[in-house]
Amino acid sequence: MSVHDGHVEYRMRLVAVIEASENKRAACAAAGIHPSSFYRWRNHPGPVVRRVSWAEQRLMERIVATALAYPSAGPRAVADRLASEGLVVSASKVWRTLAKHRLNTRVLRYALLKQHRAPASIQVAARSDRYVGRLDADQPGDLVQFDCFHVGSFKETRLGAAKQHTGQIWQYTAIDVASSWLWAELHATRHNPTPALTSQLAHRVADDLTRWGWDWHAATTDNGNEYRARLFRDTLEGLGVEHRYIKAGRPQTNGKAERVQRTLQEELYQPALIGYTEPSITGLRQDLTDYLTHYNHHRRHYGRWNQGQPPATIMTPNPKLQP
């Protein structure tokens, strides 16, 4: 017997006892139930079936579809995406709907999606769970953090006209601490990240900050060779930017970059690669471009500085300005 069947049987026994009493209202009070509940249970002895309206059914379908389209998004993020489509729903409603369909955790959503996943020719890098700390900056440009993220290894990757069998896909990341504005580029290399590409991203950061009227004061990086190389150090020096290395074994001092790369893997790369039959760096670059537009201009950030606003409202004078 299920728990629900046990509840129905208990209700029917309680109805029989109250029905046999002379004063049903007093019997209901003694049993701790309202008289209306007694009459409802007596007239409808079976389990209560709640009718779902057509509009509510469509809303639940949209909630489930959005959660599966963005499997790493939590209830609040799903509610925000639905609000951008004109559907106002609370985060608690999203959670209840997903729990009803046994999709209330990202593990369950990814498990469902992977049942229909086509074999891919890419091996996704393991996620980094390093501790993320808290950092301070008063305005955009005060501190920009850099890091590189190993997205995965393609079995076949074209590098120019040549074709090799093991291409390493790296994401070069920079994020402004005060506004959470994110810069990111994808490049295929034979082995590790290169100073030339990190310097290229630094020039891009400097150009954007200057265009939006902010002065760039400092940059933090880890102690990787791509950041200790003379080319990158000379690039920052030429831009008038102070270069700060984090202490070895203390990644929390570069925590903003560390955390956003985990977010990118959860919200972009894992869902994108599930849908790819033949992954390519060209397709991933387009996906990254689309995600950066969403992240910087539409995605709400609930951190210390943003307070529910996207980075563009802080970084750019015109939030509609494209990156």
Domain boundaries of the chain, sorted by first residue = 3-43, 54-114, 122-315
Tokens 């069947």 belong to 5
pLDDT for 207 beyond 50: yes
Q: Tell me which CATH code domain 122-315 carries.
A: 3.30.420.10
pLDDT band at 44 (very low <50, low <70, confident <90, very high): confident
What's the maximum distance between 2 C-alpha atoms anywhere in the chain?
95
Report the relative pairing of strands 218-221 and 242-245 from DSSP bridges.
Answer: parallel
Task: Provide the pLDDT for residue 314.
Answer: 85
In angstroms, the CA 36 to CA 285 distance is 62
H-type alpha helices, the chain? 3-20, 24-31, 35-43, 54-69, 75-84, 91-100, 106-114, 195-211, 225-228, 230-239, 255-264, 270-275, 281-297, 312-315
- Enclosing H/E stretch for 164: strand 162-164
In single-letter form, the type of residue at position 287 comes to D
Tokens 């959860």 belong to 266
In angstroms, the CA 190 to CA 286 distance is 21
In single-letter form, the type of residue at position 202 comes to A
CB 27, CB 21: distance < 8 Å: yes
In angstroms, the CA 223 to CA 220 distance is 10
CA distances from 37 to 16, 105, 243 (A): 13, 35, 71
Q: What percent of the chain has pLDDT over 70?
A: 78
Q: Is the pTM of this model over 0.85?
A: no
Mean pLDDT of 186-192: 82
Least confident of 19-28, 123-132, 261-270, 279-288: 123-132
In angstroms, the CA 262 to CA 38 distance is 54
